[in-house]
Amino acid sequence: MNSKLLDDFTKDVLETAKRNSTYRTLRTMETPESSHVKICVAGAHASSEQLLLASNSYLDLANIPELKQAMAQAVLDWGTGSGGARLTTGNKTPHNELENELAKFKGEEAAITFNTGYMANVGTISALCGKSDIIFSDALNHASIIDGIRLSRATCVVYKHNDMIDLERAIQESKAKAIGNEPSPNATKQKMLIVTDAVFSMDGDLANLPELLRIARTYNCLLMIDEAHATGVIGQTGRGLAEHYGCEHADVTVGTLSKAIACEGGFVAGKKQLIEFLKNKSRSFIFTTAMAPAMAAGALRNLQFLESHPERVLQLQENVKFFCEALQREGLNVPQSPSAIIPIIIGDEAAALNASARLLERGYVIPAIRYPTVAKGQARLRASLMATHTREELERATTAIVQVIRSTNYV
Ligand SMILES: Cc1ncc(COP(=O)(O)O)c(C=O)c1O
Protein backbone atom coordinates (compact mmCIF):
# COMPACT_ATOMS: atom_id res chain seq x y z
CA MET A 1 0.00 0.00 0.00
CA ASN A 2 1.31 3.46 -0.88
CA SER A 3 1.15 4.96 2.59
CA LYS A 4 3.49 7.85 1.72
CA LEU A 5 1.10 9.07 -0.96
CA LEU A 6 -1.79 8.87 1.49
CA ASP A 7 0.18 10.56 4.30
CA ASP A 8 1.38 13.39 2.07
CA PHE A 9 -2.05 14.02 0.62
CA THR A 10 -3.95 14.04 3.93
CA LYS A 11 -1.23 16.07 5.70
CA ASP A 12 -1.35 18.68 2.98
CA VAL A 13 -5.14 19.03 3.17
CA LEU A 14 -5.16 19.21 6.97
CA GLU A 15 -2.37 21.78 7.12
CA THR A 16 -4.14 23.97 4.60
CA ALA A 17 -7.30 23.75 6.70
CA LYS A 18 -5.36 24.75 9.82
CA ARG A 19 -3.83 27.75 8.04
CA ASN A 20 -7.31 28.84 6.85
CA SER A 21 -8.94 28.32 10.27
CA THR A 22 -11.22 25.73 8.69
CA TYR A 23 -9.79 22.69 10.51
CA ARG A 24 -12.58 20.72 12.16
CA THR A 25 -12.55 18.69 15.35
CA LEU A 26 -15.29 16.82 17.16
CA ARG A 27 -16.59 18.19 20.42
CA THR A 28 -18.00 15.78 22.95
CA MET A 29 -21.25 16.32 24.79
CA GLU A 30 -21.42 14.23 27.92
CA THR A 31 -25.14 14.72 28.52
CA PRO A 32 -28.24 14.08 26.39
CA GLU A 33 -29.40 16.72 23.90
CA SER A 34 -31.48 19.28 25.79
CA SER A 35 -31.39 23.01 26.51
CA HIS A 36 -28.81 22.47 29.30
CA VAL A 37 -25.82 20.30 28.51
CA LYS A 38 -22.22 19.59 29.41
CA ILE A 39 -19.75 19.86 26.56
CA CYS A 40 -16.05 19.19 27.11
CA VAL A 41 -14.01 22.37 26.87
CA ALA A 42 -10.45 21.94 25.54
CA GLY A 43 -10.71 18.20 26.15
CA ALA A 44 -11.67 18.58 29.83
CA HIS A 45 -15.02 17.73 31.41
CA ALA A 46 -17.26 20.77 31.83
CA SER A 47 -17.52 21.70 35.49
CA SER A 48 -21.01 23.15 35.13
CA GLU A 49 -23.90 23.08 32.68
CA GLN A 50 -23.92 25.22 29.57
CA LEU A 51 -26.91 26.71 27.80
CA LEU A 52 -27.28 25.06 24.40
CA LEU A 53 -28.17 27.57 21.68
CA ALA A 54 -27.08 25.31 18.87
CA SER A 55 -29.44 22.40 18.63
CA ASN A 56 -31.62 21.18 15.78
CA SER A 57 -33.85 19.61 18.40
CA TYR A 58 -35.99 22.73 18.22
CA LEU A 59 -38.88 21.43 20.29
CA ASP A 60 -36.53 19.81 22.82
CA LEU A 61 -38.12 16.39 22.45
CA ALA A 62 -34.94 14.27 22.62
CA ASN A 63 -34.87 13.87 26.37
CA ILE A 64 -38.51 13.74 27.49
CA PRO A 65 -39.03 10.76 29.83
CA GLU A 66 -42.27 9.48 28.27
CA LEU A 67 -40.79 9.65 24.74
CA LYS A 68 -37.57 7.91 25.80
CA GLN A 69 -39.70 5.27 27.49
CA ALA A 70 -41.66 4.73 24.28
CA MET A 71 -38.48 4.16 22.29
CA ALA A 72 -37.02 1.89 24.96
CA GLN A 73 -40.22 -0.16 24.85
CA ALA A 74 -39.95 -0.32 21.06
CA VAL A 75 -36.48 -1.85 21.38
CA LEU A 76 -37.96 -4.50 23.68
CA ASP A 77 -40.80 -5.11 21.21
CA TRP A 78 -38.84 -4.98 17.96
CA GLY A 79 -35.20 -5.69 18.78
CA THR A 80 -32.11 -3.66 18.04
CA GLY A 81 -31.98 -3.70 14.24
CA SER A 82 -34.18 -4.27 11.21
CA GLY A 83 -32.09 -7.09 9.71
CA GLY A 84 -32.71 -6.25 6.08
CA ALA A 85 -33.48 -3.68 3.43
CA ARG A 86 -37.02 -2.32 3.25
CA LEU A 87 -37.71 -4.35 0.11
CA THR A 88 -36.38 -7.62 1.58
CA THR A 89 -37.03 -8.39 5.27
CA GLY A 90 -36.46 -4.99 6.91
CA ASN A 91 -39.94 -3.50 6.58
CA LYS A 92 -41.70 -3.80 9.94
CA THR A 93 -45.05 -2.56 11.21
CA PRO A 94 -43.54 0.65 12.77
CA HIS A 95 -42.14 1.71 9.38
CA ASN A 96 -45.62 1.57 7.83
CA GLU A 97 -47.24 3.28 10.80
CA LEU A 98 -44.69 6.09 10.75
CA GLU A 99 -45.15 6.67 7.02
CA ASN A 100 -48.94 6.78 7.36
CA GLU A 101 -48.67 9.31 10.17
CA LEU A 102 -46.17 11.45 8.24
CA ALA A 103 -48.52 11.55 5.23
CA LYS A 104 -51.39 12.62 7.50
CA PHE A 105 -49.24 15.24 9.26
CA LYS A 106 -48.07 16.74 5.98
CA GLY A 107 -51.55 16.57 4.40
CA GLU A 108 -50.30 14.36 1.57
CA GLU A 109 -51.50 11.07 0.07
CA ALA A 110 -48.45 9.08 1.12
CA ALA A 111 -44.92 9.20 2.55
CA ILE A 112 -41.74 7.17 2.38
CA THR A 113 -38.97 7.18 4.98
CA PHE A 114 -35.21 7.00 4.44
CA ASN A 115 -32.48 6.38 7.00
CA THR A 116 -31.45 10.05 7.00
CA GLY A 117 -32.60 13.33 5.51
CA TYR A 118 -29.36 13.33 3.54
CA MET A 119 -30.34 10.03 1.92
CA ALA A 120 -33.86 11.32 1.23
CA ASN A 121 -32.51 14.24 -0.79
CA VAL A 122 -29.82 12.28 -2.60
CA GLY A 123 -32.11 9.36 -3.41
CA THR A 124 -35.07 11.47 -4.50
CA ILE A 125 -33.26 13.88 -6.79
CA SER A 126 -31.19 11.17 -8.44
CA ALA A 127 -34.30 9.04 -9.00
CA LEU A 128 -36.35 11.87 -10.46
CA CYS A 129 -33.74 13.37 -12.77
CA GLY A 130 -31.21 12.05 -15.23
CA LYS A 131 -28.65 13.24 -17.73
CA SER A 132 -31.12 14.91 -20.07
CA ASP A 133 -32.87 16.95 -17.35
CA ILE A 134 -32.24 20.40 -15.91
CA ILE A 135 -32.28 21.19 -12.20
CA PHE A 136 -32.61 24.77 -10.93
CA SER A 137 -31.04 24.94 -7.50
CA ASP A 138 -30.91 27.82 -4.99
CA ALA A 139 -27.33 29.02 -4.38
CA LEU A 140 -27.62 28.25 -0.65
CA ASN A 141 -29.14 24.79 -0.87
CA HIS A 142 -27.97 22.14 1.57
CA ALA A 143 -25.08 19.84 0.65
CA SER A 144 -27.40 16.84 0.43
CA ILE A 145 -29.36 18.55 -2.36
CA ILE A 146 -26.13 19.43 -4.15
CA ASP A 147 -24.91 15.85 -3.87
CA GLY A 148 -28.25 14.53 -5.15
CA ILE A 149 -27.96 16.79 -8.18
CA ARG A 150 -24.40 15.61 -8.85
CA LEU A 151 -25.49 12.00 -8.62
CA SER A 152 -28.36 12.58 -11.05
CA ARG A 153 -25.94 13.88 -13.73
CA ALA A 154 -28.59 16.41 -14.76
CA THR A 155 -27.53 19.87 -15.88
CA CYS A 156 -27.51 22.09 -12.81
CA VAL A 157 -28.38 25.78 -13.01
CA VAL A 158 -27.77 27.62 -9.75
CA TYR A 159 -29.97 30.67 -9.24
CA LYS A 160 -29.22 33.52 -6.84
CA HIS A 161 -30.31 32.85 -3.31
CA ASN A 162 -34.07 33.25 -2.91
CA ASP A 163 -34.13 35.45 -6.02
CA MET A 164 -37.30 34.57 -7.91
CA ILE A 165 -36.50 36.97 -10.74
CA ASP A 166 -33.17 35.24 -11.32
CA LEU A 167 -34.87 31.83 -11.20
CA GLU A 168 -37.46 32.85 -13.78
CA ARG A 169 -34.72 34.31 -16.00
CA ALA A 170 -32.69 31.10 -15.75
CA ILE A 171 -35.70 28.97 -16.70
CA GLN A 172 -36.57 31.19 -19.64
CA GLU A 173 -32.96 30.99 -20.86
CA SER A 174 -32.93 27.20 -20.60
CA LYS A 175 -36.26 26.96 -22.43
CA ALA A 176 -34.97 29.19 -25.22
CA LYS A 177 -31.86 27.01 -25.58
CA ALA A 178 -33.98 23.85 -25.64
CA ILE A 179 -36.03 25.25 -28.54
CA GLY A 180 -32.76 25.95 -30.40
CA ASN A 181 -31.57 22.36 -29.90
CA GLU A 182 -34.23 20.17 -31.52
CA PRO A 183 -34.27 16.87 -29.56
CA SER A 184 -33.75 13.65 -31.48
CA PRO A 185 -36.97 11.60 -31.93
CA ASN A 186 -35.65 8.98 -29.46
CA ALA A 187 -34.70 11.47 -26.73
CA THR A 188 -36.56 11.13 -23.44
CA LYS A 189 -38.76 14.08 -22.56
CA GLN A 190 -36.69 16.64 -20.72
CA LYS A 191 -37.81 17.43 -17.18
CA MET A 192 -37.08 20.63 -15.29
CA LEU A 193 -36.93 20.49 -11.52
CA ILE A 194 -36.73 23.45 -9.14
CA VAL A 195 -35.27 22.45 -5.79
CA THR A 196 -34.82 24.50 -2.67
CA ASP A 197 -34.41 24.36 1.08
CA ALA A 198 -37.62 25.51 2.78
CA VAL A 199 -35.65 27.05 5.65
CA PHE A 200 -32.05 27.80 4.69
CA SER A 201 -29.88 26.04 7.18
CA MET A 202 -27.21 28.69 7.68
CA ASP A 203 -29.32 31.85 7.26
CA GLY A 204 -32.66 30.78 8.68
CA ASP A 205 -34.68 32.55 5.97
CA LEU A 206 -37.63 30.97 4.14
CA ALA A 207 -38.12 29.99 0.53
CA ASN A 208 -40.93 31.89 -1.19
CA LEU A 209 -43.23 28.93 -1.77
CA PRO A 210 -46.16 30.83 -3.38
CA GLU A 211 -43.84 32.37 -5.96
CA LEU A 212 -42.00 29.08 -6.52
CA LEU A 213 -45.36 27.40 -7.17
CA ARG A 214 -46.33 30.10 -9.64
CA ILE A 215 -43.04 29.78 -11.53
CA ALA A 216 -43.17 25.98 -11.51
CA ARG A 217 -46.71 26.00 -12.91
CA THR A 218 -45.96 28.69 -15.50
CA TYR A 219 -42.95 26.86 -16.94
CA ASN A 220 -44.10 23.28 -16.37
CA CYS A 221 -41.35 22.52 -13.86
CA LEU A 222 -41.46 20.09 -10.95
CA LEU A 223 -41.00 21.70 -7.54
CA MET A 224 -39.23 20.02 -4.62
CA ILE A 225 -38.70 21.60 -1.21
CA ASP A 226 -36.62 20.34 1.68
CA GLU A 227 -38.40 21.03 4.97
CA ALA A 228 -35.61 19.73 7.22
CA HIS A 229 -35.65 22.88 9.37
CA ALA A 230 -39.31 23.73 8.71
CA THR A 231 -40.99 20.61 10.06
CA GLY A 232 -42.16 21.26 13.61
CA VAL A 233 -41.05 24.90 13.36
CA ILE A 234 -42.85 26.75 10.56
CA GLY A 235 -46.62 27.24 10.41
CA GLN A 236 -48.99 27.47 13.33
CA THR A 237 -48.81 23.75 14.05
CA GLY A 238 -45.36 23.10 12.60
CA ARG A 239 -46.56 21.55 9.35
CA GLY A 240 -44.19 23.62 7.25
CA LEU A 241 -44.21 26.22 4.48
CA ALA A 242 -47.60 25.39 2.95
CA GLU A 243 -49.23 25.97 6.34
CA HIS A 244 -47.22 29.16 6.89
CA TYR A 245 -48.16 30.70 3.55
CA GLY A 246 -51.62 29.10 3.32
CA CYS A 247 -50.78 27.79 -0.14
CA GLU A 248 -50.55 24.51 -2.05
CA HIS A 249 -47.80 21.98 -1.41
CA ALA A 250 -44.79 21.48 -3.64
CA ASP A 251 -44.85 18.38 -5.86
CA VAL A 252 -42.20 16.76 -3.66
CA THR A 253 -41.74 17.58 0.01
CA VAL A 254 -38.67 16.22 1.77
CA GLY A 255 -38.23 16.33 5.53
CA THR A 256 -36.11 14.91 8.27
CA LEU A 257 -36.92 13.14 11.52
CA SER A 258 -33.60 14.23 13.02
CA LYS A 259 -34.33 17.84 13.91
CA ALA A 260 -37.59 18.98 15.57
CA ILE A 261 -38.77 15.35 15.73
CA ALA A 262 -35.53 14.51 17.55
CA CYS A 263 -34.92 11.00 16.17
CA GLU A 264 -33.18 9.89 12.99
CA GLY A 265 -34.34 9.46 9.43
CA GLY A 266 -35.67 11.41 6.49
CA PHE A 267 -38.89 11.29 4.51
CA VAL A 268 -40.63 12.33 1.33
CA ALA A 269 -44.34 13.14 1.29
CA GLY A 270 -46.44 13.54 -1.83
CA LYS A 271 -48.79 11.74 -4.21
CA LYS A 272 -49.14 7.95 -3.87
CA GLN A 273 -47.62 7.36 -7.29
CA LEU A 274 -44.54 9.46 -6.47
CA ILE A 275 -43.99 7.40 -3.32
CA GLU A 276 -44.41 4.13 -5.23
CA PHE A 277 -41.93 5.44 -7.80
CA LEU A 278 -39.36 6.20 -5.08
CA LYS A 279 -39.81 2.74 -3.55
CA ASN A 280 -38.93 1.33 -6.96
CA LYS A 281 -36.25 3.73 -8.12
CA SER A 282 -34.54 5.51 -5.25
CA ARG A 283 -31.18 3.85 -4.70
CA SER A 284 -30.62 5.24 -1.20
CA PHE A 285 -33.97 3.69 -0.22
CA ILE A 286 -33.40 0.35 -1.92
CA PHE A 287 -29.73 -0.46 -1.32
CA THR A 288 -29.46 -0.01 2.42
CA THR A 289 -30.69 -1.70 5.56
CA ALA A 290 -33.98 -0.31 6.86
CA MET A 291 -33.80 2.00 9.86
CA ALA A 292 -34.17 0.14 13.14
CA PRO A 293 -37.88 -0.46 13.77
CA ALA A 294 -37.44 0.99 17.27
CA MET A 295 -36.28 4.23 15.65
CA ALA A 296 -39.36 4.25 13.44
CA ALA A 297 -41.58 3.60 16.45
CA GLY A 298 -39.80 6.33 18.43
CA ALA A 299 -40.13 8.81 15.58
CA LEU A 300 -43.83 8.00 15.32
CA ARG A 301 -44.30 8.62 19.04
CA ASN A 302 -42.38 11.92 18.87
CA LEU A 303 -44.38 13.01 15.83
CA GLN A 304 -47.63 12.25 17.66
CA PHE A 305 -46.34 14.25 20.62
CA LEU A 306 -45.65 17.19 18.30
CA GLU A 307 -49.16 16.89 16.81
CA SER A 308 -50.76 16.98 20.24
CA HIS A 309 -48.57 19.84 21.57
CA PRO A 310 -48.90 22.74 19.11
CA GLU A 311 -48.17 25.07 22.04
CA ARG A 312 -44.51 23.97 21.85
CA VAL A 313 -44.30 25.25 18.28
CA LEU A 314 -45.82 28.54 19.36
CA GLN A 315 -43.42 28.81 22.30
CA LEU A 316 -40.49 28.28 19.96
CA GLN A 317 -41.76 30.99 17.61
CA GLU A 318 -42.23 33.41 20.52
CA ASN A 319 -38.71 32.68 21.78
CA VAL A 320 -37.24 33.46 18.36
CA LYS A 321 -39.10 36.78 18.17
CA PHE A 322 -37.98 37.72 21.69
CA PHE A 323 -34.32 36.79 21.09
CA CYS A 324 -34.00 38.53 17.70
CA GLU A 325 -35.58 41.69 19.09
CA ALA A 326 -33.24 41.64 22.11
CA LEU A 327 -30.15 41.31 19.86
CA GLN A 328 -31.43 44.01 17.52
CA ARG A 329 -32.05 46.39 20.47
CA GLU A 330 -28.34 45.98 21.26
CA GLY A 331 -27.49 47.09 17.74
CA LEU A 332 -26.40 43.73 16.35
CA ASN A 333 -26.96 43.01 12.69
CA VAL A 334 -29.44 40.19 13.13
CA PRO A 335 -32.49 39.54 10.95
CA GLN A 336 -35.95 38.99 12.42
CA SER A 337 -35.68 35.30 11.72
CA PRO A 338 -38.84 33.52 10.56
CA SER A 339 -37.32 30.18 11.67
CA ALA A 340 -35.44 28.93 14.73
CA ILE A 341 -32.05 29.67 13.12
CA ILE A 342 -30.53 33.05 13.89
CA PRO A 343 -27.27 33.99 12.13
CA ILE A 344 -25.03 36.57 13.81
CA ILE A 345 -22.56 37.45 11.05
CA ILE A 346 -18.95 38.01 12.13
CA GLY A 347 -17.19 37.77 8.75
CA ASP A 348 -13.68 36.64 9.56
CA GLU A 349 -13.22 32.88 10.14
CA ALA A 350 -10.79 33.15 13.05
CA ALA A 351 -12.83 35.87 14.76
CA ALA A 352 -15.99 33.77 14.60
CA LEU A 353 -14.14 30.80 16.08
CA ASN A 354 -12.75 32.97 18.85
CA ALA A 355 -16.15 34.47 19.70
CA SER A 356 -17.69 31.00 19.88
CA ALA A 357 -14.85 29.75 22.14
CA ARG A 358 -15.26 32.71 24.48
CA LEU A 359 -19.00 32.18 24.71
CA LEU A 360 -18.41 28.53 25.54
CA GLU A 361 -16.07 29.55 28.38
CA ARG A 362 -18.93 31.65 29.72
CA GLY A 363 -21.39 28.76 29.47
CA TYR A 364 -23.11 29.38 26.11
CA VAL A 365 -22.88 26.92 23.24
CA ILE A 366 -23.18 28.81 19.94
CA PRO A 367 -21.07 27.34 17.14
CA ALA A 368 -19.04 29.28 14.63
CA ILE A 369 -19.98 28.34 11.07
CA ARG A 370 -17.21 28.85 8.56
CA TYR A 371 -16.13 28.22 5.02
CA PRO A 372 -16.85 25.85 3.28
CA THR A 373 -20.22 25.54 5.03
CA VAL A 374 -20.80 29.23 4.28
CA ALA A 375 -19.02 31.49 1.78
CA LYS A 376 -15.54 32.84 2.63
CA GLY A 377 -15.76 36.00 4.77
CA GLN A 378 -19.31 35.12 5.88
CA ALA A 379 -18.33 33.27 9.05
CA ARG A 380 -20.95 33.58 11.73
CA LEU A 381 -22.26 32.57 15.07
CA ARG A 382 -25.28 30.46 14.31
CA ALA A 383 -27.72 30.43 17.18
CA SER A 384 -30.67 28.10 17.11
CA LEU A 385 -33.38 28.17 19.72
CA MET A 386 -35.51 25.63 21.51
CA ALA A 387 -39.09 25.87 22.71
CA THR A 388 -37.89 25.30 26.28
CA HIS A 389 -35.43 28.19 26.55
CA THR A 390 -36.72 30.63 29.14
CA ARG A 391 -36.88 34.40 28.71
CA GLU A 392 -34.35 34.81 31.47
CA GLU A 393 -31.90 32.45 29.70
CA LEU A 394 -32.33 34.27 26.42
CA GLU A 395 -31.72 37.63 28.13
CA ARG A 396 -28.54 36.32 29.74
CA ALA A 397 -27.37 34.89 26.42
CA THR A 398 -28.02 38.21 24.69
CA THR A 399 -25.86 40.03 27.24
CA ALA A 400 -23.03 37.52 26.85
CA ILE A 401 -23.12 37.66 23.02
CA VAL A 402 -23.11 41.44 22.99
CA GLN A 403 -20.24 41.62 25.50
CA VAL A 404 -18.08 39.13 23.58
CA ILE A 405 -18.70 40.84 20.26
CA ARG A 406 -18.22 44.38 21.60
CA SER A 407 -15.07 43.50 23.52
CA THR A 408 -13.41 42.42 20.30
CA ASN A 409 -15.05 44.87 17.90
CA TYR A 410 -16.01 42.08 15.52
CA VAL A 411 -19.17 43.70 14.25
C1 LIG B 1 -31.61 21.55 4.80
C2 LIG B 1 -31.14 20.20 5.24
N3 LIG B 1 -31.53 19.14 4.52
C4 LIG B 1 -31.14 17.90 4.86
C5 LIG B 1 -30.34 17.68 5.95
C6 LIG B 1 -29.92 16.28 6.27
O7 LIG B 1 -30.77 15.73 7.23
P8 LIG B 1 -30.25 14.54 8.17
O9 LIG B 1 -29.44 15.15 9.24
O10 LIG B 1 -31.50 13.90 8.66
O11 LIG B 1 -29.44 13.65 7.31
C12 LIG B 1 -29.92 18.76 6.73
C13 LIG B 1 -29.06 18.65 7.93
O14 LIG B 1 -28.57 17.76 8.41
C15 LIG B 1 -30.33 20.06 6.37
O16 LIG B 1 -29.94 21.12 7.06
The answer, yes or no, to whether any atom of ligand 1 lies below 6 A from the CB of 113, is no
Q: How far apart are CA 197 and CA 342, in angstroms?
A: 16
Most ligand 1 atoms within 8 A of CB, residue of 124, 258, 264 to mutate: 258
Contact 184, 322 (CB under 8 A): no
- pLDDT per residue over 300-359, tens digit each? 999 999 999 999 999 999 999 999 999 999 998 899 999 999 999 888 888 998 999 999
Q: Is the pLDDT of residue 182 over 80?
A: no
Q: What is the pLDDT, as a whole number, of residue 409?
A: 60
Domains, in order of start, for the chain: 21-52+310-408 (3.90.1150.10), 65-308 (3.40.640.10)
Q: Is the pLDDT of residue 46 over 90?
A: no
Contact 57, 33 (CB under 8 A): yes
For 83: left if phi > 0, alpha if psi spans -120 to 50, otherwise beta; the answer is left
Q: Is the pLDDT of residue 396 over 80?
A: yes
Q: What is the pLDDT, as a whole number, of residue 325?
A: 96
List Cβ neighbours of 189 (8 Å cut-off, separation of 6 or more). Answer: none
Measured over the CA atoms of residue 132, residue 135, residue 136 and residue 139, the dihedral's sign is negative
Share of the chain above pLDDT 70, in %: 97
Q: What is the pLDDT, as a whole number, of residue 183?
A: 58
**pLDDT, average across residues 155-183:** 90
Q: Is the pLDDT of residue 378 over 90?
A: no
- pLDDT per residue over 27-44, tens digit each? 899 999 999 999 987 778
- pLDDT per residue over 106-148, tens digit each? 999 999 999 999 999 999 999 999 999 999 999 999 999 999 9
Q: What is the pLDDT, as a whole number, of residue 307?
A: 98
Distance 315 CA to ligand 1 centre (A): 23
Atom of ligand 1 nearest to the CA of 265: 10
Atom of ligand 1 nearest to the CA of 256: 10
User: Annotated active-site positions, please?
Assistant: 201, 229, 259
- pLDDT per residue over 222-235, tens digit each? 999 999 999 999 99
Average pLDDT of every residue of the chain:
94
Distance 329 CA to ligand 1 centre (A): 32
pLDDT band per the 50, 70, 90 thresholds, residue 263: very high
90-104, 204-218, 327-341: range with lowest mean pLDDT: 327-341
The answer, yes or no, to whether any atom of ligand 1 lies below 6 A from the CB of 227, is no
